[in-house]
Structure 1
Amino acid sequence: MTRMLAIANQKGGVAKTTTVASLGAALADLDVSVLVVDLDPQGCLTFSLGHDPDQLEVSVHDVLLGEEEIADVLLDTDDNVTLLPATIDLAGAEALLLMRPGREYALKRALAEVAEDYDVILIDCPPSLGVLTLNGLTAADEVVVPLQCEMLAHRGVGQLLRTVKEVQQITNPGLTMLGAVATLFDARTTHSRDVLSDVSDRYELPVLDPPIPRTVRFAEASASGTSVMRGRKNKGANAYRSLAENLWKHWDAGQKVRTLESGI
């Protein structure tokens, strides 16, 4: 059965797109068939997987509006994951979708046409709580929140959790909150540990194991349009491989997701 995971946080700069790209590549390395969906009009996921959004003629924008079949828009990548790309046109889709009945279900309907071809579908939601994020949450089985381990990084988490609860009540009763993924984590500082402890206690939100360490390799990979999973080994890639194994054991073998203890 295909598992659909939404990666969502309305705050930017929390390594959301890096998490989708790296987790997708790590799952592919486990021989899992993966589709990644770029729902951000900035097209950062599309670029990070080697495709220039400015050069694409069709994208998820056309799929959501019913103007293209999803199978005709999918792209291959060097990371062995399939990509449903985004372009700046997606910014206009939000306004157009608002005028349509059942707007929250557009992505779910499109993915249903290809879901059986993949083991896992990862959805990169935009840094907002608009109709595109609602589409991602409505289509998904589960959701995780990338959370930067810095002061004030968890502002807005409560609002996101309220949105998830509303989606569970209205458009997707089966949606499950898996927890947070700690990004930009520095194990040497008490500050990072304090942030995670606060989030765990305040929102009763489990933190998935392992935390993702801060490393310059993520910025280098994004700038070059390649995945951090490729090239020489690094601690960031190793952490995402461990996270992928954690999630795949949960999906494939029914094991409970491994989480960090409160007050790391």
Structure 2
Amino acid sequence: MTRVLAIANQKGGVAKTTTVASLGAALSALSQRVLVVDLDPQACLTFSLGHDPDKLEMSVHDVLIGEQKIGNVLLDTADGVTLLPANIDLAGAEALLLMRPGREFTLRRALDPASSDFDVILIDCPPSLGVLTLNGLTAADSVIVPLQCETLAHRGVGQLLRTVTEVQQITNPDLALLGALPTLYDARTTHSRDVLADVSDRYGLPVLAPPIPRTVRFAEASASGASILAGRKNKGAVAYRELAANLLKTWTEGGELNTFASYE
């Protein structure tokens, strides 16, 4: 059974792309066949995995508008995951999809021919709640919300949760909200803990563990064209490896994901 996990938050700068790249690499290291889908016209995931978006002949845009089959567009990466890349053309796909009936199901239909080739599909949703994000949520089995551990970081979380609820009611009743993933976490301060406690209390949203620490290694990894797991051991890589193992155990054995409360 292929697991499809969307990483979504309409706020930018919360480590969505880093989470997809790092979690994908960590799952690949656990012998999972992983496909990562860049659904953001900014194409940061594509760039961070070593491909120049401006030089692509084909992208997810061509798949969504029906001009290419998914198998023709997939790319290999240094981390062992397969990439469905994006470029700026994807911005135009959103306008085209708005005119189509059943537009929210376009990505799900596009992924179907390739889904049996992968154990896990990770979707990097754009920082908006437009038709591309709706496609990501409709195609997914579950969703994780990366949440920056800073003041006002949870602004918009309520709106995202309402969107998830609407998707569950209309296009994808089986979508499971796994929880918020703390990112840019600084264990030395009480401020990060206070932000997470506020999110948990205000929205009743599980806060997943382990928290992803703030480290310069993430920026260095993106510039190198590989995930943070490709370099020497560091605390960011350790956190994503632990999260990947936790997810895989939950998928194969059942049970619940570790939460921040139990982690502490």
What is the TM-score with the length of structure 1 in the denominator? Answer: 0.98
Of residues 225-234 and 179-188 in structure 1, the stretch that sits farther from structure 2 once superposed is 225-234
| Mapping 1:73-84, distance limit 5 Å | 73-84=73-84
CA RMSD after TM alignment: 1.1
How far, CA to CA, are the matches of 2:53 and 2:252 in structure 1?
33
- Tell me the alpha carbon deviations over residues 61-106 of structure 1, each in whole angstroms, 9 at most, x when there is no partner: 0000011000100001110000000000000000000001110000
**Residue equivalent to 2:99:** 99
C-alpha contact 2:210 2:263 (8 A) present in aligned 1? no
- Tell me the alpha carbon deviations over residues 114-165 of structure 1, each in whole angstroms, 9 at most, x when there is no partner: 1111110000000000000000000000000000000011100000000000
Does residue 247 of the first structure (1) align with residue 243 of the second (2)? no
How far, CA to CA, are the matches of 2:159 and 2:249 in structure 1?
30
C-alpha contact 1:48 1:223 (8 A) present in aligned 2? yes
User: Where does the alignment leave 5 or more consecutive residues of structure 2 unmatched?
Assistant: none
Of residues 50-59 and 250-259 in structure 1, the stretch that sits farther from structure 2 once superposed is 250-259
Change (3 A) 1:101 1:79: same
| Mapping 1:22-61, distance limit 5 Å | 22-61=22-61
Please identify runs of 4+ aligned residues in structure 1 that moved more than 4 A.
none
2:22 aligned counterpart, secondary structure? helix
**Residue equivalent to 2:143:** 143
| Mapping 1:98-177, distance limit 5 Å | 98-177=98-177
User: Where does the alignment leave 5 or more consecutive residues of structure 1 unmatched?
Assistant: none
Matched to 1:104, the amino acid is E
Displacement of 1:260 after TM fit?
1.5
How far, CA to CA, are the matches of 1:196 and 1:4 in structure 2?
26
Displacement of 1:263 after TM fit?
11
How far, CA to CA, are the matches of 2:141 and 2:81 in structure 1?
19
C-alpha contact 2:36 2:83 (8 A) present in aligned 1? yes
Matched to 1:257, the amino acid is L
C-alpha contact 2:2 2:116 (8 A) present in aligned 1? yes
How far, CA to CA, are the matches of 1:125 and 1:233 in structure 2?
28
**Residue equivalent to 1:230:** 230
How far, CA to CA, are the matches of 1:66 and 1:138 in structure 2?
18
Displacement of 1:222 after TM fit?
1.3
Displacement of 1:225 after TM fit?
1.9
1:114 aligned counterpart, secondary structure? helix
Displacement of 1:223 after TM fit?
2.1
Matched to 1:151, the amino acid is T
C-alpha contact 1:28 1:81 (8 A) present in aligned 2? yes
**Residue equivalent to 1:67:** 67
Q: Report the identity percentage.
A: 78
**Residue equivalent to 1:16:** 16
How far, CA to CA, are the matches of 1:187 and 1:141 in structure 2?
31
Displacement of 1:253 after TM fit?
1.6
Displacement of 1:208 after TM fit?
1.0
What is the TM-score with the length of structure 2 in the denominator? Answer: 0.98
1:9 aligned counterpart, secondary structure? coil
Does residue 191 of the first structure (1) align with residue 202 of the second (2)? no
Matched to 2:214, the amino acid is R
